[in-house]
Structure 1
Amino acid sequence: MAADLMPYPAVKHSGADWLGDVPEHWELRRTKTLLKQRTEKGFPNEPLLAATQTKGVVRKEEYENRTVLALKDLHLLKLVRVGDFVISLRSFQGGIEYARERGIISPAYTVLFPVRPDDHRYLAHLFKSAPYVENLSFFVTGIRQGQNIDYARLARSRLPLPPSVERRAIACFLDHAKAHIQRYVRAKERLIELLEEQREIGIQQAVTGQIDVRTGQPYPAYRDSGVEWLGNVPEHWRVGRNRWLFQERTETGFGSLPVLEVSLRDGVRIRDMKGGQRKQRIVDRNQYKRAKKDDIAYNTMRMWQGAVGVVPEDGLVSPAYVVMAPVERMESRYYGYLFRTEIYKNAVKTFSRGIVSDRDRLYWDGFKRIASFVPPLEEQSAIVDFLDHAGRRIEAQVSATKRQIDLLREYRTRLIADVVTGKLDVREAAARLPEVDSIGGGGRVDATQPESKAHATDYGVAGEAGA
């Protein structure tokens, strides 16, 4: 999209490190000459607003359910009108937010409105651009959780200001560019969803015998499994209760072994003992259960979500887990796949018990009564090899698609920054675009003509600033 864009023919130094050179005909204006503060209060019946870095200023119920102020304090909140800008306590991290809703917001926030209504669309892009957000760090006051932007200082800083018709051209171009890029991003995200669905469908078909992975076709003959939710099974497969396939392992007192945990995505893995976001503390390792390599372990409270897997090495697991050792020769990884399928999760819900459905627990006495498929050992191995290979292939496709999404977003960030700071001239490109039908009207923008011949219509922000 930016391939045909060229730099401006004549530039000048802005005097600001974050801006560098700007087009020679652009103005440099102090922030306080373009924006005024809104300090209106006493509107307790207006909806509560929240300032977010991803959605701008929106109604609080659309962003979060909890409110932090008592009803008697609502008259102290500041009024925000559509088209205003809000400096929140986190704006130094993500930029100044644009308001799409009228309502009231924390008195600790700074509410601004453009002196000229037609400025807000260009400013919405500028205030979320990477160079401007980086520049905001120089106006931060306070330490740690008490950090905030000192608007008295920020108000004296200079902003680039193209001519009015050029501001509209920049906003029009970026609205179209961001919408175009977002369509690509959504298409890539949908591709990832389809790949994940393909993986889950492939796993369920393979482990339940719907497809013979060695031929890619259904098995030649099926029979009734005798278990309603299992349905038909390949004629030569067995079906058995888990009590005949596994035995519970309850040994403790092996405190020197590594601690394991069950991840919904990765199965059983070694627990990160460095902490991270969720600090975990082990009071007495000797109270933890021993799990041996190739055992099956699951979280009793989250088994219905698929929190189960094959133990990769000898270790310890929480007393809240169930550890099962195979009774007969089997490919444990086959059951690691089987127990995470939707068909099995539904069975787990039936055999779990608890007060409410999302807190049901599946204990060993319930799990051992659930029936499982028992393919011949060589077929278990073939299924695992097939699914491992297919999983690696799909994971590579997912990773490549995620990287493409990252590149698209990086491109969008760079494009916005280059356009709003005058590094790329979009006037001719914008003249070829239809004006987005946004707040205030539409019409083609011709920024190549003198400003006196341009439309004087005011426009609102189309699309999400900084999305």
Structure 2
Amino acid sequence: MMAGLKPYAAYKDSGSSWLAQVPTHWEVRALRTLIRPRNERNRIDMPLLSVAREKGVFVRSMTDASENHNVIPLDLSNYKVARAGALVINKMKAWQGSMGIAPCDGIVSPAYYVYDFDIANGKFGQALLRSKPYVAHFGQASDGVRVGQWDLTIAAMRQIPVLVPPPEEQAAIVRFLDWANARLERTIRAKRRVIALLTEQKQAIIHRAVTRGLDPTVTLKPSSIPWLGDIPAHWKIWRIKYLVKEVDRRSTTGAEPLLSMRMHHGLVLFAGPLHRPPQAATLKGFKIVAPGQIVVNRMQAGNGVIFSSSLNGLVSPDYAVLDPIGAVNVEFLGELFRSRKVRAKFRAESKGLGTGSSGFMRLYNDRLGAIHVALPPVDEQAAILAGLDDELSGVNTAISRLHREIDLLREYRTRLVADVVTGKLDVRAAAALLPFGPDDSEAIEATEPESTEEIEDEENSVN
């Protein structure tokens, strides 16, 4: 059905170079004619709402610290009231798509813009304003001096042209996109399940190799460390503090390339579609990393966000940068630190607020250094890495292919939404063929659903 979509029969000039031609019967109105500012406050009895690029507007948990890293103030009396159906915009992140329709009455940060939104179908309005061409135009309507944080200017925002199809057509568009997104999301989730199974298989292979070696008949001995259990008889036990030491070199210019820690990609350049633009006002004072060092995301150590570096660059000041000082191959040590048993030990030794993934748990250097690990001789470490490369080649290829397929599906979904809400494709006939009644459709605002498969370094977002 999606492949058979056609353009409308007749188009007119929208008057906007970036919207170009639009269906003849659609209105083109300046945003100022559709919005009215609201400034109601002092309703602390209402639920707290938040705005995110991935979700739009949602009810925020008051207890789940992992949901949002912004601190909730004790006094919410100055927070703005957003009535159900209101347009809420994070003025500093509008260029990222951080806006949406309030799902219920609630309160939002006083720094947000809140407007009554005069459009027949709020879900259509949200899909339109959060579509790729509109997000880019909100970026053009924003300015400022801080890197990655530009305020949306009211004057420029009010001039943004808004496409307004007839109400029944807005409903048809919403219905079609709900249907299309549900099917694309099911496909993505199925691929994620396969990735999860392959990743589990991969982790089991790595765990066996870095804790027992490649020889399944190797003689074992008790380690005398309860959580380590038995280890190969010729391996030695070390405290981590005798294998690595922290170094703290800081950038004086901030001119070095920014690096990012990604759970499934390692330490990579902070660029491209995987990353948000950096939120720090300056990179001065960020930590310098060189090839052969190990970088630890202290708050995600228990999830295995620890990698050796092959790059020169900068990382968050909150990360630990470690130099090898013992008889150790840094790549082997990275694999060992990411193995299941060691990750569990890192989680157990982390301290902070909350528990597990629902809190801010940090692995401090003294606790990291005190942990025991078992290591083979350096030449065997290299042999184990080579053996893992051979054994995991097929699994890694399959995982990479599935990730790429998911990326392509997301790109297709983003393009489909943009083409439909801006009138490049006519979905009225397709929507009319869809069955009525309850189904498993996903809301169209979930065009970039959250994923637990990637953990990105939020510490680069230094406000």
Band the TM-score falls in, shorter-chain normalisation: 0.5 to 0.7
Distance in 2, Cα, partners of 1:162 & 1:351: 57
One of 122, 125, 130 as aligned partner of 1:123: 125
Question: How much does 1:172 deviate?
Answer: 0.4
The corresponding residue for 1:456 is none
Structure 2 segments unaligned to the other structure (5+ residues): 248-258, 271-279, 312-318, 352-360, 449-463
Kindly indicate whether residue 171 of structure 2 is the aligned counterpart of residue 168 of structure 1: yes
The verdict on how the C-alpha distance between 1:83 and 1:207 changes in structure 2, with shifts beyond 3 A counting, is same
Structural mapping, 1:10-29, within 5 Å: 10-29=10-29
Distance in 2, Cα, partners of 1:363 & 1:140: 44
The verdict on how the C-alpha distance between 1:266 and 1:149 changes in structure 2, with shifts beyond 3 A counting, is closer
One of 149, 152, 177 as aligned partner of 1:148: 152
Distance in 1, Cα, partners of 2:21 & 2:374: 69
**Could you list the per-position Cα deviations for residues 236-259 of structure 1 after superposition, in whole angstroms to 9, with x for gaps in the alignment?**
x5354449xx98799x9xxxxxxx
Distance in 2, Cα, partners of 1:409 & 1:211: 39
**Could you list the per-position Cα deviations for residues 261-320 of structure 1 after superposition, in whole angstroms to 9, with x for gaps in the alignment?**
9x8979999999xx99583468xxxxxxxx999xx9898x8997578888999xxxx999
Kindly indicate whether residue 363 of structure 2 is the aligned counterpart of residue 361 of structure 1: no
The corresponding residue for 2:85 is 83
Question: How much does 1:41 deviate?
Answer: 3.7
Distance in 1, Cα, partners of 2:95 & 2:291: 50
The corresponding residue for 2:423 is 422
Kindly indicate whether residue 97 of structure 2 is the aligned counterpart of residue 94 of structure 1: yes
The corresponding residue for 2:340 is 342
One of 436, 443, 451 as aligned partner of 1:462: 443
Structural mapping, 1:305-324, within 5 Å: 323-324=324-325
Q: Which stretch shifts more, 172-181 or 61-70?
A: 61-70
Structural mapping, 1:108-257, within 5 Å: 108-115=111-118, 118-140=120-142, 144=146, 147-150=151-154, 154-155=157-158, 157-209=160-212, 212=215, 218-219=216-217, 225=222, 227=224, 229-231=227-229, 237-242=233-238
2:300·2:362 contact (CA, 8 Å) conserved in 1? no
Question: How much does 1:96 deviate?
Answer: 3.8
Question: How much does 1:105 deviate?
Answer: 2.6
2:350·2:363 contact (CA, 8 Å) conserved in 1? no
**Could you list the per-position Cα deviations for residues 391-413 of structure 1 after superposition, in whole angstroms to 9, with x for gaps in the alignment?**
44443333332222221121111
The verdict on how the C-alpha distance between 1:69 and 1:140 changes in structure 2, with shifts beyond 3 A counting, is farther
The corresponding residue for 1:56 is 56
Which amino acid counterpart does residue 94 of structure 2 have in structure 1?
S
Question: How much does 1:361 deviate?
Answer: 2.2
Distance in 1, Cα, partners of 2:27 & 2:269: 57
2:82·2:105 contact (CA, 8 Å) conserved in 1? yes
Among all aligned residue pairs of Structure 1 and Structure 2, give the percentage whose two residues are the same amino acid: 33
Distance in 2, Cα, partners of 1:427 & 1:28: 19
TM-score, normalization: structure 2?
A: 0.67
DSSP-derived class of the 1:147 partner = strand
Which amino acid counterpart does residue 434 of structure 2 have in structure 1?
L
**Could you list the per-position Cα deviations for residues 142-179 of structure 1 after superposition, in whole angstroms to 9, with x for gaps in the alignment?**
6555622315x544554222222211111101112122
2:55·2:445 contact (CA, 8 Å) conserved in 1? yes
The corresponding residue for 1:279 is 285
Q: Which stretch shifts more, 138-147 or 84-93?
A: 138-147
DSSP-derived class of the 2:169 partner = helix
Which amino acid counterpart does residue 17 of structure 1 have in structure 2?
S
The verdict on how the C-alpha distance between 1:159 and 1:375 changes in structure 2, with shifts beyond 3 A counting, is closer
Which amino acid counterpart does residue 410 of structure 2 have in structure 1?
R
2:238·2:375 contact (CA, 8 Å) conserved in 1? no
TM-score, normalization: structure 1?
A: 0.66
DSSP-derived class of the 1:238 partner = coil
Question: How much does 1:28 deviate?
Answer: 2.7
One of 52, 59, 71 as aligned partner of 1:66: 71
DSSP-derived class of the 1:160 partner = strand
Which amino acid counterpart does residue 192 of structure 1 have in structure 2?
I
The verdict on how the C-alpha distance between 1:85 and 1:461 changes in structure 2, with shifts beyond 3 A counting, is farther
Distance in 2, Cα, partners of 1:12 & 1:298: 55
The verdict on how the C-alpha distance between 1:323 and 1:47 changes in structure 2, with shifts beyond 3 A counting, is same
Question: How much does 1:85 deviate?
Answer: 0.9
Question: How much does 1:321 deviate?
Answer: 5.1
Report which of the two structures shows the higher radius of gyration computed on alpha carbons.
1
DSSP-derived class of the 2:366 partner = coil
The corresponding residue for 1:215 is none
DSSP-derived class of the 1:425 partner = coil
The verdict on how the C-alpha distance between 1:414 and 1:311 changes in structure 2, with shifts beyond 3 A counting, is closer
What is the RMSD of the two structures over their aligned residues, measured on CA atoms?
5.1
Distance in 1, Cα, partners of 2:132 & 2:446: 12
Distance in 2, Cα, partners of 1:48 & 1:112: 17
How many residue pairs get matched? 399
The corresponding residue for 1:3 is 3
DSSP-derived class of the 1:43 partner = coil
Distance in 2, Cα, partners of 1:297 & 1:196: 22
DSSP-derived class of the 1:12 partner = strand
2:324·2:330 contact (CA, 8 Å) conserved in 1? no
Kindly indicate whether residue 401 of structure 2 is the aligned counterpart of residue 395 of structure 1: no
The verdict on how the C-alpha distance between 1:390 and 1:8 changes in structure 2, with shifts beyond 3 A counting, is same
Question: How much does 1:78 deviate?
Answer: 2.9
Distance in 2, Cα, partners of 1:87 & 1:303: 30
